[in-house]
Every structure is written in C-alpha cells, then in structure tokens.
A = this chain, B = another copy of it.
Amino acid sequence: MLDSNVKELLIGIVGEGNVNDSSESRLAYSYDATPNFQSLPDAVVMPNSTEEVRKILKVCNDCQIPVVPRGSGTNLCAGTCPTEGGVVLVFNKMNRILEIDEENLTVTVQPGTITQEMIKAVEEKGLFYPPDPSSMKISTIGGNLNENSGGLRGLKYGVTRDYVLGIQVVLPNGNVFRTGGKLAKDVAGYDLTRLFVGSEGTLGVITEATLKLVPMPETKKTMLAIYDDIDAAAKTVSKIIANKVIPATLEFLDHPTLEVVEDFAKIGLPTYAEAVLLIEQDGALEVVERDMEKIMRICEEEHAISVDVAKSDEEAAALCTARRSALSALARMKPTTILEDATVPRSKVAQMVKAVNEIAGKYDVKICTFGHAGDGNLHPTCMTDVRDKDELKRVEKAFEEIFAKAIELGGTITGEHGVGEMKSPYLEWKLGREGIEAMRGLKAAFDPNGIMNPGKMFAKDSRKRVVVGV
C-alpha cells in the first residue's frame, strides 16, 4: 500500500477521483493479457496532463516508488504487470486526438487514444495509419508506442516505430522534452524518438506523439492459398518476396490453427488443409491486379491445392477477421493460451515452422503456429493449463528451445510483442552480455533509481541456453 503522505501528494496532483487504491482496482490492474503473471500495484493513478505526469514522476522518483505506464494491457510479454508494485499510470483521461494535419499528413495524439479510433478518424480524411496490431480495437497508441507494436501490414508498411515523427517525454527526474516534429527529416541530436518507442515504459513516460500518415491505398484485394504441405506454403512466402512482390499482408496459418479458427468464425475455412496463406495487396488497381496474378502463379508453382481471390469486400473482410481472431479462437480451447512471437529471416520460415512442430512433439505439448510469415514473425501458440505444473514445465522448455532455434536461424526472441518480464531471461541470447550491458548503462542514464517499470527488459537471472552451440 502507498504511504499515506505519498497518497496525499498524488491526490494533490491529480485530484481525489484519480488516485484509486481500492482492492478491486488494484486487482484489476494486477495483470495484463499475459498468462501466469500477476502482481498487485499499490495504487492506480490517472493523470490529466503532461504537467501532472511530470509531478507524479518526481514524487515517485523521490520516494523510489515504481511507476508502470499502461494502456489497455493487451500486451503479451507481461510488459505492464506491476511486478514490483507501485503506481500504475492509466491514460484514460489523456485520450484525445489533438490534431489531424491534412497538409503535412500527420496526426497528433495523447497516449490514451484507442488505436482503432485514431485509425477511423484519419481514414475519414482519406488518410492511412498502417500499423495494425491485432489488438487495435482496444489497444492504445501509448501502449503501441511503448511496445513498438507491429501487425499484419508490417511486411510492406513497417511497424509503429516507422510512423513516429515526434514525441513528448517525461523523465523520472521530472524533465520534459519534445523530439522531432512534423518533419520528414530531422537529425538534430540522437534519435531519442525511436529510443523511447519500444522501450516498454522503462525509461520515461510518453505523453504525446505526432505520427506520420500516408495516403489511403486506392484498392485492396485478398487471396487465400491452400496447401497440403507446410513446407510448400513456407516456400511460397520466400518466393513471392524473392520475385520482388511485397504484399501488404502475407499470413500463415497451420492446420490446427485453421481448425480452431473455423470452429470459432464459421466462414468455411478449409480445415482439411495442412496450411493456408492469407495474402493481401493494396495500392493502385492495375498494380494490385498484376501483383495478385504474379502471386497466384507462384502459389500454383509451389503446389497450392487451390488459390482463390475473395469475390467481395465482405468475403475479404471475413477472412481477415478470422485471421485476427486466431488468438481468441485458440484461447477457447484450453484454460491457458501462451502466444509467442519468435521471428526469423523470411527465408527461414519453413525451417522454423518445422522446428516448432518437432519441439512440440518432443515435449508432448500442443502448439499451433500462425503469424506474419511475410516478415518471418511467427506466433507459435501453446494451449495449456497453468494449474498443470508438470505440463507447464514442459511448455516452458519447449519455448526455450523455440527461442534458441530462432536465434540459431538468425532470428530474434520477439518480433513485435516485446520483452517485458516474460522474455527478459532470454534477451541475453539475442544481444549477448555486452549488448545487455550497453542497455543497462542506457537505462541507468535515464532512470538512475530504477523506478520506471522495474522487472521488465532486464532479467534477474539469464537462462542458460538449452541448445548447445547456438
């Protein structure tokens, strides 16, 4: 619980209604979308302005109270679990779209803005914000910034980081600064913008962001290619890119995922298939048509059983909605769903999918794989039950081996979900001891007292690698 003096100080800053330390509220903010991580905060605080955030951070820094900035808590890395208690900062009161600038193609928002609401608002002006994390209906822009969220359109359009032109940041010492602006080019100083994007709330608090928009693509087409062989599907992915076609979306679903998603969405997905690719291209009509023809030919060359372009916008939307619902669909199967995002160079997708299946077999656990095959970002997903301690140990071992395999193939332990608490023990596998040391130095420079989202990114102990010679 908060010291009563601290509580009074916080109430003095944000007002009585915006500091909540009831047990209900603390319980509600004790976890995020990540299974198996829970820890009670001491209080939930809702700032109304950057100035209030500044004052809160100063109090917490002086009193060495952890601060966990949180959006909607949809992250899958235990990134917003208040691991060491403290104050959860919630941005419900800082959720405004401040400006859509149609001349400079930018939108300026507060961190609490819901991603999809912002996307809708800019689309009404014929503009397009490409990053589309699957959780975008409820996720916030602040959460997207802290996690550098990806999405289905990452292959062609990049991720959140690629659309951030400038931010306002509050540091633990109460310093406030702005980076960038409505500028396509700006090299005035270190790239603090991108340093804070993806820093998982461990360096400071982003209180405002100016994001880049692009013109809305003229048209979009959606295609489903069906395979009776996982390898063939994965090879198609590499071959499309090697043929210099970059689709907007290039998603992979394996057989078990397909079955579960169809059971959930009931849109007639081919549950007999070993794998499907869901492919979208957007842009000018002629280009989209030509690209889709090329892609179709490649799918056929790689022995797809069938390749069909969606006949209507409704059919296309149904396919995408089904894909986006994969996590929800899988989550219905067993009490606990652990979704990972080991990522590899796209030329290694086939090898990685095969390895995941072998590892699942070895440890006798159920893992489905789907994900953004076009950018090598796979989501091996395990259906389990946290109460089954024995199985959970095997699940953990399986994921360790999956991470090791991803690194071995030139990949990474997380493509878009972040490190958080969950993957912190594995980060050293990717960055090495000297990389972690560099990160620790950087963290200490911004947050010397370690109040910002402690327990995340940096592990207390690194895991020993389970695979030799990786």
Contact = CB atoms under 8 A, between A and B. Distances in A.
Interface string A177-212: 111111111111111101101110001000000000
A439 B238 contact: no
Given A198-B191, A434-B175, A182 B103 contact: no
Interface stretch (A24-32, A83-91, A269-277, A411-419): A411-419
Given A162-B162, A242-B102, A457-B189, A177 B414 contact: no
A421 to B, nearest CB: 14
A63 interface: no
A411 B184 CA distance: 10
A178 B186 CA distance: 25
A335 interface: no
Interface string A370-384: 001011110000000
A290 interface: yes
A346 B104 contact: yes
Q: Which of A162, A190, A415, A423: most chain B CB closer than 10 A?
A: A190
A438 B171 contact: yes
A139 to B, nearest CB: 15
Contact of A442 (B127, B419, B430, B442): B442
B187 A414 contact: yes
Interface of A: 101-105, 126-127, 147-148, 150, 154-155, 158-159, 161-162, 169, 171, 175-192, 194-195, 197-199, 203, 214-216, 238, 241-242, 244-246, 283-284, 286-287, 290, 343-347, 372, 374-377, 410-419, 423, 427, 430-432, 434-439, 441-442, 444-446, 457
26 contacts: A103-B346, A104-B241, A105-B241, A147-B187, A150-B187, A154-B184, A155-B184, A158-B184, A175-B434, A177-B431, A178-B435, A179-B435, A182-B410, A183-B343, A183-B415, A184-B374, A185-B376, A185-B377, A187-B198, A187-B418, A188-B414, A188-B419, A189-B427, A189-B436, A286-B287, A445-B445
